[in-house]
Amino acid sequence: MTSSRAFSDGKRALIAYLMGGDPNPSLCYDAALSVIEGGADALELGIPFSDPIADGPTIQAASVRALSAGTKPADVLELARELTKNVRVPIYVMTYLNPILRMGLPAFARAASTSGVTGVIVPDLPIELSDEWLVAARAQSLETVFLVSPATTSSRIDRIVEKCSGFVYLVSVYGVTGERSSLPDYTQEFVSRVKNRVTIPVALGFGISRPETVKQAIKLGVDGVIVGSALVSRLANSEGESALDELRSYTRELKAATLIA
Catalytic residue among 22, 41, 55, 246: 55
Q: Is 55 a catalytic residue?
A: yes
Q: Identify the three-state secondary structure at position 14.
A: strand
Torsion of CA 122, 61, 237, 246, to 10 degrees: 0
Cβ neighbours for 66, distance < 8 A, ≥ 6 positions apart: 19, 20, 21, 22, 23, 28, 48
In whole angstroms, what is the distance from residue 260 CA to residue 12 CA?
9
Catalytic residue among 22, 44, 75, 223: 44
Looking at residue 51, its amino acid is: D
- Chain centroid to Cα 219, Å, comes to 20
Looking at residue 205, its amino acid is: G
Backbone angles phi, psi at 203, to 5 degrees: -125, 135
In whole angstroms, what is the distance from residue 231 CA to residue 91 CA?
16
**Residue (of 216, 210, 219) closest to 250 by Cα position:** 210
Cβ neighbours for 46, distance < 8 A, ≥ 6 positions apart: 17, 18, 19, 20, 59, 62, 63, 76, 93, 94, 95, 228
Q: Identify the three-state secondary structure at position 166.
A: strand
Annotated catalytic residues are: 44, 55
